Amino acid sequence: MDSSVSVIYIESNRMSKRKKTVIDILRDSPGFVSGEAMSAQLGISRNAVHKHVKSLRGRGYRILGVSRRGYKLEEEPCRLSMGFITDRTEKSAFGRSFRYYDEIESTNAEAKALANCGAPEGTVVIAEAQSAGRGRLGRRWTSPAGKGLLFSVLLRPRLPMNDAHMLTIVAAAAAAEAIEAIAGIPVHIKWPNDLFIGDRKAGGILMEVSGEQDEVEWVVVGIGINVNTEYSELPVALRRTATSLKMVKGEPVDRSELLATLLLSLETHYKDAVANGFERALASFRNRDYLLHKSISVETREGPISGSASGVDDRGALLVELPHRQVRRFHSGDVTLHP
């Protein structure tokens, strides 16, 4: 690894010593360990052992529990290979400073805090799990530990504030291209920020900005992708509408390779956009426009407005053809498809 690259690994301080001991006991036993033996070894009740096991499962540890036999550690959560990622990104500006958390509230919140403390452009915050992952329009983003990609990149572009939203288009194009290159699956983008495979959402982008009218101070681009998530790990409410790369491909996808490729793709698109404008990112977006020619409704303050999606304009606004052929532009809003 290049000596100018910094990777800070941050272990969750919410992982108590006792949980670590629970893992150590399970790791040291090839077979089952009874709840009773664990409670004696740890000096806690069997109920408390059960609670620790439950919380470890939430962190991606696969622990089998069989009555009268006890617990068995079947699988530990996967971790990204930071060595591989930094080797692949060593010549790029986005590969200089990484903060890699095993658990954090939200990588976007952390990247924003770093931005306000003067962290440089290209700082990348990655987490294996988020306890309060954020989505667009105040929604939550949930992902089982070690199965997805959850990361945020800090940018300091020299752009006027009214161009900042175009970086969502840039990030969506970069993410779609990287997924296609690594997983070999065609990706569509549902305006403005959803990554779709077939008719299901596999990822999303949350961009947050700070600055004055004339110039952006910083932008945080947060990307969440369901990579190796199983159907049973999706929140019940999303099982009809969400998917993962593994669910579509039928085999796991290398998350480290995907992250490295995505960072390189994001940097290429970003530099091109800041230097030459948004044409290239828009072209990539338009090639993957999920909504094009579909019958949709856009939620607005005046209520839902329905029509046929007819692409995005050069400012990244959604174009909708209304029943009398009049075309309306939307700069923001939630889109639903008509059945």
For 332, other C-beta atoms within 10 Å of its C-beta total: 13
Could you tell me the sign of the dihedral formed by the alpha carbons of 153, 159, 161, 164, in that order? negative
Binds ligand BTN by CB under 6 A, chosen from 136, 249, 280, 315: 136
Give the three-class secondary structure for 111: helix
Q: Interface residues for ligand BTN in 95-124 (CB under 6 A)?
A: 106-108
Query: Segment near ligand BTN (CB under 6 A), from 79-87, 95-103, 136-144, 170-178?
Result: 136-144
For residue 190, state whether it binds ligand BTN (rule: CB under 6 A): no
Binds ligand BTN by CB under 6 A, chosen from 224, 307, 311, 316: 224
For residue 133, state whether it binds ligand BTN (rule: CB under 6 A): yes
> To the nearest whole angstrom, how small is the minimum distance from the Cβ of residue 218 to ligand BTN?
15
Measured from each CB, the residue nearest to ligand BTN is: 204
Distance CA 171, CA 304 (A): 27
In whole angstroms, how far apart are CA 183 and each of 94, 250, 280, 310, 312?
A: 22, 11, 22, 29, 27
What x-and-dash track marks residues 254-293 binding ligand BTN by CB under 6 A? ----------------------------------------
Could you tell me the sign of the dihedral formed by the alpha carbons of 12, 15, 21, 24, in that order? negative
Give the three-class secondary structure for 74: strand
Could you tell me the sign of the dihedral formed by the alpha carbons of 290, 331, 158, 95, in that order? negative
Binds ligand BTN by CB under 6 A, chosen from 171, 179, 206, 219: 206
Report yes or no: 255 and 82 within 8 Å, Cβ to Cβ. no
For residue 60, state whether it binds ligand BTN (rule: CB under 6 A): no
Q: Which residues form the interface with ligand BTN (CB under 6 A)?
A: 106-108, 130, 133-136, 139, 141, 150-152, 193-194, 204-206, 222-224
